[in-house]
Amino acid sequence: MEAYLTTGASGSFAERFNGLLILWEHRFYGSSLPTFSSDFSFTPSQLSTYFAHHTIEQALEDVAVFARTFNASVHPSTTPWVFVGGSYPGARAAWARLRNPDIFHASLASSAVVQLQENFWQYFLPVERSMDEQGWQNCSSDMRSFNSWVNDAIDKQNATAVDNWLGRVTGAEGTALWRYFHWDDEGDAWLDRKTNMRAAVGVVFQDFQYVGMDGWLGYFCNQLQLEAAGSSRNFDANSTGIFQDFELDSALDIHAVVIREIWSNLLTQDQIPPVGVNMSDVLISRDCSSLRDQSFCEETINNLSWQWQVCSEFGAFQVGNASRPESLLPKIESVDSWIEDCVSYFGNGMKNGPNIAPLNDRYGGWDMNPSNVMWNDGEFDPWRSVTPHSTTDLAPKRPTTTDIPGNGTAPPDNDVFGFVVPGGFHCPDLGDVVAVRDTSRPPSGPVSGANIAHTVFINALAKWLPDFVEHDVSDASTMPPGSAGGASSSNSGGSTSGGQNDSGAERRVIPVVAAMVAMAVALWVI
Protein backbone atom coordinates (compact mmCIF):
# COMPACT_ATOMS: atom_id res chain seq x y z
CA MET A 1 0.00 0.00 0.00
CA GLU A 2 1.27 3.43 -0.82
CA ALA A 3 1.83 6.18 1.67
CA TYR A 4 2.87 9.72 1.19
CA LEU A 5 5.67 12.06 2.20
CA THR A 6 4.35 15.58 1.84
CA THR A 7 6.49 18.67 1.67
CA GLY A 8 5.15 19.96 5.01
CA ALA A 9 8.06 19.39 7.38
CA SER A 10 10.70 19.26 4.65
CA GLY A 11 9.44 22.49 3.15
CA SER A 12 9.55 24.29 6.49
CA PHE A 13 13.13 23.10 7.10
CA ALA A 14 14.21 24.22 3.63
CA GLU A 15 12.51 27.58 4.07
CA ARG A 16 14.12 28.07 7.49
CA PHE A 17 17.61 27.70 5.94
CA ASN A 18 16.87 29.26 2.53
CA GLY A 19 17.30 25.88 0.89
CA LEU A 20 16.29 24.48 -2.47
CA LEU A 21 13.73 21.67 -2.01
CA ILE A 22 13.88 18.68 -4.36
CA LEU A 23 11.34 15.85 -4.31
CA TRP A 24 12.97 12.66 -5.52
CA GLU A 25 10.98 9.80 -7.07
CA HIS A 26 12.30 6.29 -6.45
CA ARG A 27 13.01 4.11 -9.46
CA PHE A 28 10.13 1.77 -10.40
CA TYR A 29 7.54 4.05 -8.79
CA GLY A 30 5.32 6.72 -10.25
CA SER A 31 6.61 7.66 -13.68
CA SER A 32 10.14 6.33 -13.07
CA LEU A 33 9.58 3.05 -14.89
CA PRO A 34 11.57 1.33 -17.63
CA THR A 35 9.72 1.06 -20.92
CA PHE A 36 7.91 -2.17 -21.70
CA SER A 37 9.18 -4.40 -24.47
CA SER A 38 6.72 -5.60 -27.08
CA ASP A 39 6.87 -9.15 -25.69
CA PHE A 40 6.36 -8.15 -22.04
CA SER A 41 3.73 -10.08 -20.12
CA PHE A 42 2.78 -10.28 -16.44
CA THR A 43 4.35 -13.68 -15.85
CA PRO A 44 6.75 -14.34 -12.95
CA SER A 45 9.73 -14.76 -15.29
CA GLN A 46 8.97 -11.52 -17.13
CA LEU A 47 8.37 -9.61 -13.91
CA SER A 48 11.58 -10.84 -12.31
CA THR A 49 13.50 -9.73 -15.39
CA TYR A 50 11.73 -6.35 -15.46
CA PHE A 51 12.52 -5.70 -11.78
CA ALA A 52 16.08 -7.09 -11.86
CA HIS A 53 17.63 -3.66 -11.20
CA HIS A 54 15.02 -2.62 -8.66
CA THR A 55 17.34 -2.79 -5.65
CA ILE A 56 17.98 -0.67 -2.60
CA GLU A 57 21.65 -0.12 -3.44
CA GLN A 58 20.74 0.93 -6.97
CA ALA A 59 18.17 3.39 -5.60
CA LEU A 60 20.78 4.85 -3.26
CA GLU A 61 23.23 5.14 -6.13
CA ASP A 62 20.59 6.93 -8.22
CA VAL A 63 20.38 9.77 -5.69
CA ALA A 64 24.16 9.98 -5.37
CA VAL A 65 24.58 10.26 -9.14
CA PHE A 66 21.84 12.88 -9.28
CA ALA A 67 23.52 14.98 -6.59
CA ARG A 68 26.86 14.84 -8.41
CA THR A 69 25.38 15.91 -11.74
CA PHE A 70 22.32 18.05 -10.93
CA ASN A 71 23.75 21.57 -11.03
CA ALA A 72 27.31 22.77 -10.78
CA SER A 73 26.28 25.78 -8.68
CA VAL A 74 24.93 23.53 -5.91
CA HIS A 75 27.39 20.66 -6.20
CA PRO A 76 27.79 18.69 -2.94
CA SER A 77 31.48 19.58 -2.93
CA THR A 78 30.56 23.23 -2.34
CA THR A 79 27.01 23.03 -0.94
CA PRO A 80 25.61 20.97 1.95
CA TRP A 81 22.91 18.53 0.91
CA VAL A 82 20.36 17.26 3.45
CA PHE A 83 18.37 14.03 2.94
CA VAL A 84 14.92 13.85 4.58
CA GLY A 85 12.79 10.71 4.52
CA GLY A 86 10.24 8.71 6.46
CA SER A 87 9.86 4.91 6.78
CA TYR A 88 11.78 3.16 3.97
CA PRO A 89 12.89 6.58 2.65
CA GLY A 90 13.90 7.32 6.25
CA ALA A 91 16.15 4.27 6.15
CA ARG A 92 17.52 5.48 2.84
CA ALA A 93 18.26 8.86 4.43
CA ALA A 94 20.38 7.14 7.10
CA TRP A 95 22.00 4.71 4.68
CA ALA A 96 22.81 7.53 2.24
CA ARG A 97 24.59 9.55 4.92
CA LEU A 98 26.67 6.53 6.00
CA ARG A 99 27.26 5.43 2.41
CA ASN A 100 28.05 8.83 0.84
CA PRO A 101 29.08 11.26 3.60
CA ASP A 102 30.88 13.38 1.03
CA ILE A 103 27.55 13.97 -0.75
CA PHE A 104 24.97 14.12 2.06
CA HIS A 105 25.99 16.42 4.87
CA ALA A 106 23.06 15.52 7.12
CA SER A 107 19.90 13.41 7.23
CA LEU A 108 16.56 13.26 9.01
CA ALA A 109 15.59 9.60 9.38
CA SER A 110 11.96 9.41 10.49
CA SER A 111 10.62 5.94 11.36
CA ALA A 112 13.72 4.63 9.61
CA VAL A 113 13.32 0.88 9.13
CA VAL A 114 17.01 -0.03 9.00
CA GLN A 115 16.97 -3.45 10.69
CA LEU A 116 15.93 -5.79 7.91
CA GLN A 117 14.41 -9.08 9.05
CA GLU A 118 12.24 -11.69 7.42
CA ASN A 119 9.87 -12.65 10.26
CA PHE A 120 8.39 -9.43 11.62
CA TRP A 121 5.76 -10.67 14.07
CA GLN A 122 6.86 -7.86 16.40
CA TYR A 123 4.93 -5.43 14.19
CA PHE A 124 1.85 -6.30 16.24
CA LEU A 125 3.33 -5.68 19.69
CA PRO A 126 2.24 -1.99 19.69
CA VAL A 127 -1.20 -3.11 18.51
CA GLU A 128 -1.49 -5.47 21.46
CA ARG A 129 -0.25 -2.78 23.82
CA SER A 130 -2.68 -0.18 22.48
CA MET A 131 -5.64 -2.52 22.83
CA ASP A 132 -4.67 -3.52 26.36
CA GLU A 133 -3.96 0.01 27.56
CA GLN A 134 -6.97 1.66 25.95
CA GLY A 135 -9.67 -0.72 27.14
CA TRP A 136 -10.14 -2.92 24.07
CA GLN A 137 -9.47 -6.22 25.84
CA ASN A 138 -12.88 -7.59 24.86
CA CYS A 139 -12.02 -7.08 21.19
CA SER A 140 -8.53 -8.59 21.44
CA SER A 141 -10.14 -11.55 23.22
CA ASP A 142 -12.55 -11.92 20.29
CA MET A 143 -9.70 -11.76 17.78
CA ARG A 144 -7.81 -14.52 19.60
CA SER A 145 -10.91 -16.67 19.88
CA PHE A 146 -11.52 -16.25 16.16
CA ASN A 147 -7.88 -17.12 15.43
CA SER A 148 -8.23 -20.33 17.44
CA TRP A 149 -11.25 -21.27 15.34
CA VAL A 150 -9.39 -20.49 12.09
CA ASN A 151 -6.33 -22.47 13.17
CA ASP A 152 -8.48 -25.47 14.06
CA ALA A 153 -10.53 -25.30 10.85
CA ILE A 154 -7.41 -25.08 8.68
CA ASP A 155 -5.58 -27.83 10.58
CA LYS A 156 -8.55 -30.16 10.16
CA GLN A 157 -9.17 -28.97 6.59
CA ASN A 158 -12.77 -28.26 7.51
CA ALA A 159 -13.74 -26.90 4.10
CA THR A 160 -17.39 -26.49 5.04
CA ALA A 161 -16.60 -24.28 8.04
CA VAL A 162 -14.11 -22.08 6.16
CA ASP A 163 -16.32 -21.74 3.09
CA ASN A 164 -19.36 -20.87 5.20
CA TRP A 165 -17.51 -18.10 6.99
CA LEU A 166 -15.96 -16.71 3.81
CA GLY A 167 -19.37 -16.85 2.16
CA ARG A 168 -20.78 -14.69 4.94
CA VAL A 169 -18.06 -12.13 4.20
CA THR A 170 -18.19 -12.10 0.40
CA GLY A 171 -21.88 -12.77 -0.20
CA ALA A 172 -23.34 -15.03 -2.84
CA GLU A 173 -21.38 -16.18 -5.86
CA GLY A 174 -21.32 -13.57 -8.61
CA THR A 175 -21.93 -10.57 -6.35
CA ALA A 176 -19.45 -7.69 -6.41
CA LEU A 177 -17.51 -8.54 -3.26
CA TRP A 178 -17.46 -12.24 -4.16
CA ARG A 179 -15.95 -11.39 -7.55
CA TYR A 180 -13.25 -9.27 -5.93
CA PHE A 181 -12.22 -12.05 -3.55
CA HIS A 182 -12.29 -14.82 -6.14
CA TRP A 183 -11.04 -13.17 -9.31
CA ASP A 184 -7.46 -14.28 -8.61
CA ASP A 185 -8.20 -17.82 -7.39
CA GLU A 186 -5.53 -20.20 -8.62
CA GLY A 187 -7.51 -23.43 -8.66
CA ASP A 188 -5.84 -24.90 -5.57
CA ALA A 189 -8.84 -24.97 -3.23
CA TRP A 190 -6.96 -24.77 0.06
CA LEU A 191 -4.45 -22.21 -1.15
CA ASP A 192 -7.35 -20.05 -2.35
CA ARG A 193 -9.17 -20.46 0.96
CA LYS A 194 -6.10 -19.43 2.93
CA THR A 195 -5.38 -16.47 0.64
CA ASN A 196 -8.94 -15.19 0.94
CA MET A 197 -9.02 -15.78 4.68
CA ARG A 198 -5.79 -13.81 5.10
CA ALA A 199 -7.19 -10.92 3.08
CA ALA A 200 -10.47 -10.89 4.98
CA VAL A 201 -8.89 -10.94 8.43
CA GLY A 202 -5.94 -8.65 7.76
CA VAL A 203 -8.01 -5.70 6.56
CA VAL A 204 -8.63 -4.47 10.13
CA PHE A 205 -4.94 -3.60 10.62
CA GLN A 206 -4.39 -1.61 7.44
CA ASP A 207 -4.20 1.90 8.92
CA PHE A 208 -3.19 1.18 12.52
CA GLN A 209 0.36 2.39 11.87
CA TYR A 210 -0.98 5.84 11.04
CA VAL A 211 -3.79 6.39 13.56
CA GLY A 212 -3.91 3.48 15.98
CA MET A 213 -7.31 2.60 17.37
CA ASP A 214 -8.85 5.64 15.67
CA GLY A 215 -8.77 3.75 12.39
CA TRP A 216 -10.33 0.59 11.02
CA LEU A 217 -9.29 -1.58 13.97
CA GLY A 218 -11.20 0.63 16.40
CA TYR A 219 -14.12 0.69 13.98
CA PHE A 220 -14.08 -3.10 13.79
CA CYS A 221 -14.09 -3.44 17.57
CA ASN A 222 -16.94 -0.95 17.99
CA GLN A 223 -19.01 -2.60 15.28
CA LEU A 224 -18.62 -6.02 16.91
CA GLN A 225 -20.24 -4.59 20.02
CA LEU A 226 -22.99 -2.82 18.09
CA GLU A 227 -23.84 -5.85 15.97
CA ALA A 228 -23.89 -8.03 19.07
CA ALA A 229 -26.07 -5.62 21.00
CA GLY A 230 -28.55 -5.57 18.14
CA SER A 231 -28.77 -9.34 18.05
CA SER A 232 -29.43 -9.98 21.76
CA ARG A 233 -31.21 -7.97 24.43
CA ASN A 234 -29.07 -9.65 27.06
CA PHE A 235 -25.71 -8.72 25.55
CA ASP A 236 -23.42 -6.82 27.90
CA ALA A 237 -21.40 -4.24 25.94
CA ASN A 238 -18.68 -4.43 28.60
CA SER A 239 -18.37 -8.20 28.38
CA THR A 240 -15.23 -10.13 27.58
CA GLY A 241 -16.31 -10.39 23.95
CA ILE A 242 -18.86 -11.89 21.61
CA PHE A 243 -17.17 -15.30 21.53
CA GLN A 244 -17.72 -15.50 25.29
CA ASP A 245 -21.37 -14.42 25.17
CA PHE A 246 -22.70 -16.19 22.07
CA GLU A 247 -22.74 -19.63 20.60
CA LEU A 248 -19.82 -20.11 18.21
CA ASP A 249 -21.88 -19.92 15.02
CA SER A 250 -23.58 -16.70 16.13
CA ALA A 251 -20.24 -15.12 17.09
CA LEU A 252 -18.74 -16.11 13.73
CA ASP A 253 -21.71 -14.59 11.94
CA ILE A 254 -21.35 -11.27 13.82
CA HIS A 255 -17.62 -11.25 13.09
CA ALA A 256 -18.20 -11.92 9.37
CA VAL A 257 -20.86 -9.21 9.09
CA VAL A 258 -18.41 -6.58 10.40
CA ILE A 259 -15.55 -7.75 8.15
CA ARG A 260 -17.92 -7.63 5.20
CA GLU A 261 -18.96 -4.08 6.11
CA ILE A 262 -15.34 -2.90 6.21
CA TRP A 263 -14.52 -4.43 2.85
CA SER A 264 -17.68 -3.01 1.31
CA ASN A 265 -16.68 0.46 2.52
CA LEU A 266 -13.12 0.17 1.24
CA LEU A 267 -13.67 -1.16 -2.26
CA THR A 268 -14.23 1.26 -5.09
CA GLN A 269 -16.24 0.38 -8.17
CA ASP A 270 -13.20 0.19 -10.43
CA GLN A 271 -11.67 -2.51 -8.18
CA ILE A 272 -14.57 -4.89 -8.77
CA PRO A 273 -14.01 -7.20 -11.76
CA PRO A 274 -16.76 -7.65 -14.34
CA VAL A 275 -18.86 -10.79 -14.17
CA GLY A 276 -17.03 -13.82 -15.52
CA VAL A 277 -13.59 -12.17 -15.71
CA ASN A 278 -10.58 -13.52 -13.85
CA MET A 279 -7.15 -12.06 -13.32
CA SER A 280 -5.49 -13.92 -16.16
CA ASP A 281 -8.12 -12.66 -18.60
CA VAL A 282 -7.35 -9.09 -17.61
CA LEU A 283 -3.55 -9.31 -17.66
CA ILE A 284 -2.65 -11.67 -20.47
CA SER A 285 -4.60 -9.68 -23.03
CA ARG A 286 -2.62 -6.49 -22.34
CA ASP A 287 -0.01 -5.10 -24.71
CA CYS A 288 2.09 -2.91 -22.43
CA SER A 289 4.03 -1.43 -25.34
CA SER A 290 0.84 0.08 -26.77
CA LEU A 291 -0.62 3.45 -25.80
CA ARG A 292 -3.97 1.77 -25.20
CA ASP A 293 -2.72 -0.38 -22.30
CA GLN A 294 0.21 1.68 -21.07
CA SER A 295 -1.53 3.37 -18.14
CA PHE A 296 -2.98 0.05 -16.95
CA CYS A 297 0.44 -1.63 -17.12
CA GLU A 298 2.12 1.25 -15.30
CA GLU A 299 -0.47 1.14 -12.51
CA THR A 300 -0.05 -2.62 -12.17
CA ILE A 301 3.74 -2.31 -11.99
CA ASN A 302 3.42 0.42 -9.37
CA ASN A 303 1.24 -1.91 -7.31
CA LEU A 304 3.82 -4.69 -7.61
CA SER A 305 6.87 -2.53 -7.03
CA TRP A 306 6.91 -2.59 -3.24
CA GLN A 307 5.99 -6.27 -3.25
CA TRP A 308 9.16 -6.91 -5.27
CA GLN A 309 11.26 -5.04 -2.72
CA VAL A 310 9.67 -6.93 0.16
CA CYS A 311 10.17 -10.28 -1.53
CA SER A 312 13.72 -9.69 -2.80
CA GLU A 313 15.47 -7.64 -0.10
CA PHE A 314 13.37 -5.86 2.48
CA GLY A 315 11.38 -8.66 4.11
CA ALA A 316 9.48 -7.50 7.20
CA PHE A 317 6.70 -10.05 6.71
CA GLN A 318 3.96 -9.06 9.17
CA VAL A 319 2.90 -12.45 10.49
CA GLY A 320 1.24 -14.13 13.42
CA ASN A 321 3.39 -15.76 16.06
CA ALA A 322 1.90 -19.18 16.72
CA SER A 323 4.04 -19.63 19.86
CA ARG A 324 2.38 -16.65 21.55
CA PRO A 325 -1.22 -16.94 22.81
CA GLU A 326 -1.39 -13.12 22.58
CA SER A 327 -1.02 -13.18 18.78
CA LEU A 328 -3.71 -11.18 16.96
CA LEU A 329 -3.32 -13.11 13.69
CA PRO A 330 -4.03 -16.75 12.86
CA LYS A 331 -1.07 -18.94 12.06
CA ILE A 332 -1.94 -19.02 8.35
CA GLU A 333 -0.40 -15.54 8.25
CA SER A 334 3.12 -16.96 8.26
CA VAL A 335 6.52 -16.51 6.67
CA ASP A 336 5.78 -19.51 4.47
CA SER A 337 2.55 -17.93 3.21
CA TRP A 338 4.37 -14.70 2.36
CA ILE A 339 7.07 -16.61 0.48
CA GLU A 340 4.34 -18.52 -1.38
CA ASP A 341 2.97 -15.13 -2.43
CA CYS A 342 6.43 -14.01 -3.55
CA VAL A 343 6.88 -17.16 -5.64
CA SER A 344 3.47 -16.72 -7.22
CA TYR A 345 4.33 -13.11 -8.14
CA PHE A 346 7.92 -13.52 -9.27
CA GLY A 347 8.79 -17.20 -9.57
CA ASN A 348 10.98 -19.77 -7.85
CA GLY A 349 13.85 -17.32 -7.56
CA MET A 350 12.03 -16.05 -4.46
CA LYS A 351 11.64 -19.41 -2.75
CA ASN A 352 14.53 -18.76 -0.31
CA GLY A 353 13.04 -15.50 0.94
CA PRO A 354 14.46 -11.97 0.91
CA ASN A 355 18.20 -11.46 0.80
CA ILE A 356 18.45 -9.21 3.87
CA ALA A 357 22.01 -9.95 5.04
CA PRO A 358 24.02 -7.69 2.67
CA LEU A 359 22.31 -4.46 3.75
CA ASN A 360 22.36 -5.33 7.45
CA ASP A 361 26.02 -6.30 7.21
CA ARG A 362 27.03 -3.21 5.26
CA TYR A 363 25.17 -0.58 7.28
CA GLY A 364 24.75 -2.19 10.71
CA GLY A 365 20.96 -2.35 11.01
CA TRP A 366 19.68 -0.87 14.27
CA ASP A 367 23.30 -0.69 15.53
CA MET A 368 24.31 1.87 12.90
CA ASN A 369 25.60 5.13 14.32
CA PRO A 370 26.38 7.67 11.58
CA SER A 371 27.19 11.27 12.28
CA ASN A 372 24.84 14.15 11.37
CA VAL A 373 21.70 11.98 11.44
CA MET A 374 18.62 12.54 13.60
CA TRP A 375 16.30 9.59 14.22
CA ASN A 376 12.64 10.29 15.04
CA ASP A 377 10.02 7.67 15.86
CA GLY A 378 6.49 7.36 17.17
CA GLU A 379 5.86 5.67 20.51
CA PHE A 380 3.16 3.36 19.09
CA ASP A 381 4.53 2.94 15.58
CA PRO A 382 4.63 -0.79 14.75
CA TRP A 383 7.71 -0.14 12.60
CA ARG A 384 9.63 1.22 15.59
CA SER A 385 10.57 -2.41 16.32
CA VAL A 386 13.05 -2.37 13.41
CA THR A 387 14.56 1.07 14.06
CA PRO A 388 17.41 2.10 16.41
CA HIS A 389 14.68 3.05 18.93
CA SER A 390 13.46 -0.57 19.09
CA THR A 391 12.65 -1.97 22.52
CA THR A 392 12.03 -5.57 21.41
CA ASP A 393 13.85 -8.45 23.10
CA LEU A 394 16.57 -8.82 20.46
CA ALA A 395 17.17 -5.08 20.01
CA PRO A 396 20.27 -3.37 21.46
CA LYS A 397 17.95 -1.02 23.42
CA ARG A 398 20.19 1.98 22.88
CA PRO A 399 19.67 5.12 24.98
CA THR A 400 18.02 8.08 23.24
CA THR A 401 19.37 11.60 23.56
CA THR A 402 18.44 15.02 22.22
CA ASP A 403 21.93 16.33 22.98
CA ILE A 404 23.22 17.43 19.59
CA PRO A 405 26.57 15.88 18.65
CA GLY A 406 29.22 17.96 16.98
CA ASN A 407 29.37 18.15 13.20
CA GLY A 408 30.81 14.95 11.78
CA THR A 409 30.76 13.27 15.19
CA ALA A 410 28.67 10.21 15.99
CA PRO A 411 26.78 10.29 19.30
CA PRO A 412 28.91 8.95 22.17
CA ASP A 413 28.20 5.82 24.22
CA ASN A 414 26.18 4.27 21.38
CA ASP A 415 23.37 6.75 22.06
CA VAL A 416 20.70 7.40 19.45
CA PHE A 417 20.42 11.08 18.64
CA GLY A 418 16.73 11.61 18.13
CA PHE A 419 13.28 11.75 19.68
CA VAL A 420 10.42 9.33 20.29
CA VAL A 421 7.17 11.29 19.92
CA PRO A 422 4.84 10.37 22.82
CA GLY A 423 1.63 8.85 21.51
CA GLY A 424 2.96 9.10 17.95
CA PHE A 425 2.62 6.60 15.15
CA HIS A 426 4.39 6.16 11.79
CA CYS A 427 6.48 9.15 10.67
CA PRO A 428 4.81 11.37 13.29
CA ASP A 429 6.98 14.37 12.46
CA LEU A 430 6.23 14.40 8.71
CA GLY A 431 3.12 15.17 6.71
CA ASP A 432 -0.31 16.51 7.57
CA VAL A 433 -3.14 15.02 9.59
CA VAL A 434 -6.07 13.94 7.41
CA ALA A 435 -9.45 12.44 8.20
CA VAL A 436 -9.46 9.00 9.78
CA ARG A 437 -10.35 6.23 7.31
CA ASP A 438 -9.97 8.59 4.35
CA THR A 439 -9.01 5.85 1.90
CA SER A 440 -7.87 8.35 -0.71
CA ARG A 441 -4.85 9.25 1.41
CA PRO A 442 -3.54 7.49 4.52
CA PRO A 443 -3.29 9.62 7.65
CA SER A 444 0.12 10.53 8.99
CA GLY A 445 1.57 13.07 11.48
CA PRO A 446 2.42 15.55 12.70
CA VAL A 447 1.02 14.90 16.16
CA SER A 448 1.43 16.61 19.49
CA GLY A 449 5.13 16.40 20.35
CA ALA A 450 6.31 16.55 16.75
CA ASN A 451 7.20 20.20 17.31
CA ILE A 452 9.88 19.07 19.77
CA ALA A 453 11.43 16.84 17.12
CA HIS A 454 11.27 19.69 14.60
CA THR A 455 12.97 22.11 16.98
CA VAL A 456 15.78 19.69 17.80
CA PHE A 457 16.46 19.02 14.12
CA ILE A 458 16.48 22.72 13.29
CA ASN A 459 18.94 23.30 16.13
CA ALA A 460 21.07 20.40 14.91
CA LEU A 461 21.24 21.85 11.41
CA ALA A 462 22.08 25.24 12.85
CA LYS A 463 25.06 23.55 14.50
CA TRP A 464 26.12 21.29 11.60
CA LEU A 465 25.65 23.51 8.56
CA PRO A 466 28.07 26.32 9.49
CA ASP A 467 30.81 23.72 9.87
CA PHE A 468 30.44 22.51 6.30
CA VAL A 469 33.68 22.94 4.34
CA GLU A 470 34.31 22.58 0.65
CA HIS A 471 35.79 19.20 -0.25
CA ASP A 472 36.42 16.82 -3.10
CA VAL A 473 33.58 14.52 -4.13
CA SER A 474 34.47 11.34 -5.96
CA ASP A 475 32.62 10.48 -9.16
CA ALA A 476 33.21 6.78 -8.53
CA SER A 477 30.24 4.55 -7.81
CA THR A 478 29.83 3.31 -4.26
CA MET A 479 27.74 0.32 -5.34
CA PRO A 480 29.10 -2.83 -3.67
CA PRO A 481 30.30 -5.50 -6.11
CA GLY A 482 27.58 -7.79 -7.43
CA SER A 483 24.70 -5.68 -6.11
CA ALA A 484 23.23 -4.41 -9.37
CA GLY A 485 20.67 -7.20 -9.43
CA GLY A 486 20.22 -7.09 -5.71
CA ALA A 487 19.69 -10.78 -4.93
CA SER A 488 21.96 -13.71 -4.22
CA SER A 489 22.46 -16.45 -6.77
CA SER A 490 19.86 -18.54 -4.97
CA ASN A 491 17.40 -15.67 -5.04
CA SER A 492 18.23 -13.85 -8.23
CA GLY A 493 15.87 -11.44 -9.87
CA GLY A 494 16.50 -12.97 -13.26
CA SER A 495 15.53 -16.52 -12.36
CA THR A 496 12.92 -18.34 -14.37
CA SER A 497 9.87 -19.18 -12.37
CA GLY A 498 8.38 -22.57 -13.00
CA GLY A 499 6.23 -21.69 -9.96
CA GLN A 500 2.57 -21.95 -9.14
CA ASN A 501 1.39 -19.17 -11.36
CA ASP A 502 3.72 -19.04 -14.31
CA SER A 503 1.03 -18.09 -16.80
CA GLY A 504 -0.63 -15.59 -14.51
CA ALA A 505 0.71 -12.55 -12.70
CA GLU A 506 0.20 -10.65 -9.52
CA ARG A 507 -2.05 -11.99 -6.83
CA ARG A 508 -4.00 -9.57 -4.77
CA VAL A 509 -1.69 -7.97 -2.21
CA ILE A 510 -2.82 -9.18 1.20
CA PRO A 511 -3.62 -6.01 3.19
CA VAL A 512 -2.45 -7.29 6.56
CA VAL A 513 -0.63 -4.02 7.02
CA ALA A 514 0.55 -1.29 4.76
CA ALA A 515 4.26 -0.81 4.37
CA MET A 516 4.96 2.87 3.95
CA VAL A 517 6.34 3.37 0.47
CA ALA A 518 6.89 7.05 -0.06
CA MET A 519 7.00 7.87 -3.74
CA ALA A 520 9.33 10.76 -3.07
CA VAL A 521 11.91 11.81 -0.56
CA ALA A 522 13.01 15.33 0.10
CA LEU A 523 16.49 16.52 -0.71
CA TRP A 524 17.45 20.06 -0.13
CA VAL A 525 20.55 22.14 -0.50
CA ILE A 526 21.64 25.27 1.27
Q: CA 96 to CA 89: how far, in whole Å? A: 10
In-domain check, residue 35: no
The pLDDT of residue 72 is 87
Q: Which of 353, 377, 407 is the last residue of a domain?
A: 353
Q: Which of 305, 334, 353 is the last residue of a domain?
A: 353
The pLDDT of residue 521 is 53
**Pair (309, 382) in one structural domain:** no
Residues in Cβ contact with 387 at an 8 Å cutoff, skipping those fewer than 6 apart: 111, 112, 113, 114, 115, 366, 375, 377
**Pair (226, 92) in one structural domain:** no
**Pair (179, 287) in one structural domain:** yes
In-domain check, residue 22: yes
Q: Which amino acid is at 435?
A: A
**Pair (431, 386) in one structural domain:** yes
In-domain check, residue 37: no
Q: CA 132 to CA 192: how far, in whole Å? A: 33
The angle that helices 137-155 and 189-202 make with each other, rounded to 10 degrees, is 180
**Pair (176, 286) in one structural domain:** yes
The pLDDT of residue 268 is 84
**Pair (131, 264) in one structural domain:** yes
In-domain check, residue 487: no
**Pair (471, 375) in one structural domain:** yes
Q: Residue 251 class from Cβ within 10 Å (0-12 exposed, 13-18 middle, 19+ buried)?
A: buried
In-domain check, residue 298: yes
Domain enclosing residue 195, as ranges: 119-353
Other C-beta atoms closer than 10 Å to the C-beta of 128 total: 16
The pLDDT of residue 318 is 97
DSSP character string of 391-451: -STTS--PPEE-PPPPTT-PPGGG-EEEEEETT--SSTTSS----TT-TTS------TTHH
Measured at the CA of 524, the angle between CA 519 and CA 526, to 5 degrees, comes to 180
Nearest to 300 by CA among 93, 57, 16, 29: 29
**Pair (204, 335) in one structural domain:** yes
Contact indicator for 416, 439 with CB cutoff of 8 Å: no
Torsion of CA 512, 158, 260, 204, to 10 degrees: -20
Q: CA 252 to CA 427: how far, in whole Å? A: 36
In-domain check, residue 43: no
**Pair (243, 124) in one structural domain:** yes
**Pair (348, 379) in one structural domain:** no
Contact indicator for 478, 56 with CB cutoff of 8 Å: no
**Pair (348, 384) in one structural domain:** no
The DSSP bridge pattern shows strands 416-421 and 373-378 to be parallel
Residues paired with 421 in a beta bridge: 378
In-domain check, residue 123: yes
DSSP character string of 15-78: HHTTPEEEEEEPTTSTT--PPPPTT--SSHHHHHHHTTT--HHHHHHHHHHHHHHS-GGG-TTT
Nearest to 178 by CA among 281, 280, 272, 279: 272
Nearest to 112 by CA among 359, 351, 281: 359
**Pair (279, 386) in one structural domain:** no
- Widest distance between CA atoms in the chain: 77
Q: How many domains does the chain have?
A: 2
Strand, helix or coil at 522? strand
In-domain check, residue 484: no
Q: CA 427 to CA 444: how far, in whole Å? A: 7
Q: Which of 353, 385, 418 is the last residue of a domain?
A: 353
Per-10-residue mean pLDDT, the chain, length 526: 44 83 92 91 93 96 94 92 94 97 96 98 96 93 96 96 96 91 86 93 94 93 90 63 92 96 89 70 78 89 95 97 94 96 95 97 97 96 97 96 98 96 91 45 60 93 96 90 49 28 30 30 55
